[in-house]
Amino acid sequence: MNKKKILIIDDEQINLDFFDVMLTRLGFQVLMAVDGEEGLEMIREHVPDLIILDNIMPRLTGWELTKMLKKDDAFSDFRNIPIIMFSAMDAVKDKIEGFELGIDDYIIKPFNFSEVLARIRAVLRNHELSQQVVLREKRLTITDSLNKSLIYFTEHLKSPVLGMVESSKSLDVSDPKAVESFKQLVMAEAEQTLAALGGLEDEVKNLLVSEGSVRKAELSLEELEERFREHFRELHDNAGESA
């Protein structure tokens, strides 16, 4: 299983150290940055699965960083990385602003580590679920185009065959000229039928290739749960620890 990458951005070294030890023990890959600018570099370089961010930092604040990630087109590749924001301020206005910017959770310092872990789990799980929904939607779209293609290529198949049937009804087999022109017609109609079949075949293969790549990324709900159980089986052992 691939380790989930969590990036911690905090100007207090003690917090970084604490998260590093605890989250590494739980099987996460921990990345750290001491300010927003360094954080941005790390995001670009490592594309973490989750960002935990202090809101008050020198240089680039948590707010500013969040705003860049969510709104700036230069960072559109990182827009969907979930963010948990930390704050020493329990101000409703700040929380609302954070959520409006698109953060996934907001934690007040000082925090209880078990609670933080539970929140990390919830955020990662939600994120994974919404990605699975997107994948399934893609697959639905593919199935939908397949259905449509079947219908419209069938139109191309029907006509030539009907044409042959029609001509054969009025064919006078004793007239060599008529037989010859019937033969020409059958050849032409067969060619069109084969062209439509070839087109349909292409289309079906193409859709199957895309469907396969989407399916590969899909997880069942059980697999999803299993993935998270791995990381959080120690959750209870750590209950009570705080920073």
Partner 1 sequence: MIDDTKREVLRLFAAGRELYKKRAFKAALEKFKEAYTLDPTDEPSKLFGGRCKHYIQNPPDDGWDGIFQMQTK
Least distance to partner 1 from the beta carbon of 144, Å?
Answer: 13
String of DSSP letters for 150-207 = HHHHHHHHHHHHHHHHHHHHT--TT-HHHHHHHHHHHHHHHHHHHHHHHHHHHHHHHH
| Cβ neighbours of residue 129 closer than 8 Å, sequence gap 6 or more | 224
Residue 165, both tokens: 């049937």
Which residues face 52 on adjacent strands? 8, 84
Least distance to partner 1 from the beta carbon of 145, Å?
Answer: 9
Residues 110-149 that bind partner 1 (CB under 8 A): 138, 148-149
Least distance to partner 1 from the beta carbon of 200, Å?
Answer: 8
Residues 155-214 that bind partner 1 (CB under 8 A): 156, 159-160, 162-163, 166, 188, 191-192, 194-196, 198-199, 202-203, 205-207, 209-210, 213-214
In the bound state with partner 1, the residue whose beta carbon lies nearer, of 78 and 111, is: 78
Peptide bond into 58 cis (omega under 30): no
Least distance to partner 1 from the beta carbon of 195, Å?
Answer: 4
Residues 214-243 that bind partner 1 (CB under 8 A): 214
Least distance to partner 1 from the beta carbon of 152, Å?
Answer: 4
Angle between helical axes of 113-169 and 221-232 (0-180°, round to 10): 160
78 touches 47 (CB < 8 A): yes
Integer Cα distance of 38 and 42 in angstroms: 6
User: CA 64, 65, 68, 71 torsion: positive or negative?
Assistant: negative
In the bound state with partner 1, the residue whose beta carbon lies nearer, of 143 and 213, is: 213
Instruction: Kindly tell me which residue out of 34, 153, 182, 231 binds partner 1, with binding defined by CB under 8 A.
Output: 153
86 touching partner 1, by CB under 8 A: no
In the bound state with partner 1, the residue whose beta carbon lies nearer, of 131 and 206, is: 206
Using CB under 8 A, list all residues that contact partner 1.
138, 148-149, 152-153, 156, 159-160, 162-163, 166, 188, 191-192, 194-196, 198-199, 202-203, 205-207, 209-210, 213-214
